[in-house]
Amino acid sequence: MIDRRNLSRVIAEVSLSLQRMAESGVRGLDCSEKSLNALKTWGRPPPRPAVVPAETLKDIRANLGECVRCGLSESRTRIVFGQGHPNARLMFVGEGPGQ
């Protein structure tokens, strides 16, 4: 959120500085392209970040495959991935079978 009092103070200071520069004969300022682009966005709300779709349980399970990343894979007969609604707001995680 923009602090309007602070913004007003900064604008007043910049305005005063530009007036003094004009009075001393300055008739233009060189600005980089980056600075000019930043000035164009002043006073506008920041752009919304791109929405990245969340990875689904189906995606995770497909990526998991027949995992052999740890020693538990040597004695298991199947992967117990889970059950229930894939968009649940609450999830319980328990121990692996036989542990």
DSSP string for the chain: ---HHHHHHHHHHHHHHHHHHHHTT-------HHHHHHHHTTTSPPPPPPPPPPPPHHHHHHHHSS--SSGGGGT-SS-----S-TT-S-----PPTT-
**Domain boundaries in the chain?**
4-40
Q: Give me 73's structure tokens.
A: 């894979």
Q: 97: pLDDT confidence band, cut at 50, 70 and 90?
A: low
Per-residue pLDDT of 24-79, as tens digits, reads 888 887 788 888 888 888 878 878 888 888 888 888 888 888 888 888 888 888 78
Query: Global pTM?
Result: 0.38
79 Ramachandran zone, left/alpha/beta (phi>0; psi -120 to 50): beta
